[in-house]
Amino acid sequence: MAKYRQVHIEFWQDGFVLDLTPEEKYFYLYLMTNSKTSQCGVYELPKRIIETETGYNRETVDKLLQRFIEYGKIIYDDRSKEIMIVNWAKYNFIKSPKVIACIKKELEGIKNRHLVSEFVNNCIALGYHIDGLTIPSWELPEIAQAEEGVEEEDQEYAETIVINESIDVSPVPQEDPFRFYEENGFGVIGSYISEKISTWCADLSDELVVLALKRSTEQGKKTWGYVEAILNDWFDKGFKTASEVEAYQLEFKEKQAQKQNKVTPYRRGAARIEVVPEWMQNKPAEESNEPVNIKDLEDRKRKMEQMFQQINS
């Protein structure tokens, strides 16, 4: 399956990026989108690969890596040839079970366990939680030094950092959009729809994707095209949470009620009709089957004509 890496449009207006040279901007984009990138933002990236893919020589590669290390944007280990994008989790973390399972598998393959520890600490700071992840510490042999008078077997130890499952620092659990899609009659999720859902979860939130699926279900239109039309509308309006959508809908209804209650002079011609998004519309009321009384209508018409004659006289 093809892999894609997202770059937010705010990237170009970021204060840090604005101060970079064109060469540095290109290199920063490369670090976030190259062929070795992973879901967790920690991956093996030999300098030889960087040279091949960017066209830079070794001296330039070393210079640029050092700059971004000093900027605090990456950590690079020359011995394991692994790199960590420090803010990766902040902009790319997706809380779906499938993606988290992928992250856990990737972390198990990282040689430098210090990078894994840094990644998990970042997740905790951001309020994310990966259940049951155990991270053994890792030291390079040349760094570990035996103290005088201490037995070698006493020097070998493995400190373990365990995220206690009983202490959950994650936000309130939310409904899983992938599960909702399959359990509510939209169909079986293939790779295309899975990629679409993951992208929208990153652009908006899991919460809004689930809400859009619910709105589609309520309207009886269980198709991804209809769901995506709702999400596009919310994206254009800048919504990020369900509370923002509900607030907008409440405000819209209040404005509509005010217009209906407002008394306006009679005038001929068609009134301006405001288009209401289908996802906001209530179910249409049932049409009345009662017969129309022609005599009553004529009486009302006659009274209206008399009233206008009195006003204009």
Q: Is the separation of the CB atoms in 278 and 212 below 8 Å?
A: no
103, two tokens: 């992250």
Residue bearing the bigger pLDDT, 199 or 165: 199
Q: Are strands 42-44 and 82-85 parallel, antiparallel or unpaired?
A: antiparallel
pLDDT band at 289 (very low <50, low <70, confident <90, very high): low
249, two tokens: 């809908």
Q: Is the pLDDT of residue 23 over 90?
A: yes
Locus of tokens 């009886």: 220
Q: Is the separation of the CB atoms in 90 and 126 below 8 Å?
A: yes
Q: What is the mean pLDDT of residues 46-72?
A: 93
d(CA 117, CA 107): 10
pTM (2 d.p.): 0.42
Strands, DSSP E only, in the chain? Answer: 42-44, 74-77, 82-85, 134-136, 160-162
Locus of tokens 């062929």: 35
Q: Is the separation of the CB atoms in 133 and 155 below 8 Å?
A: no
Taking only the tens place, the pLDDT of each residue in 110-145 is 888 888 888 888 777 777 766 555 444 433 333 333
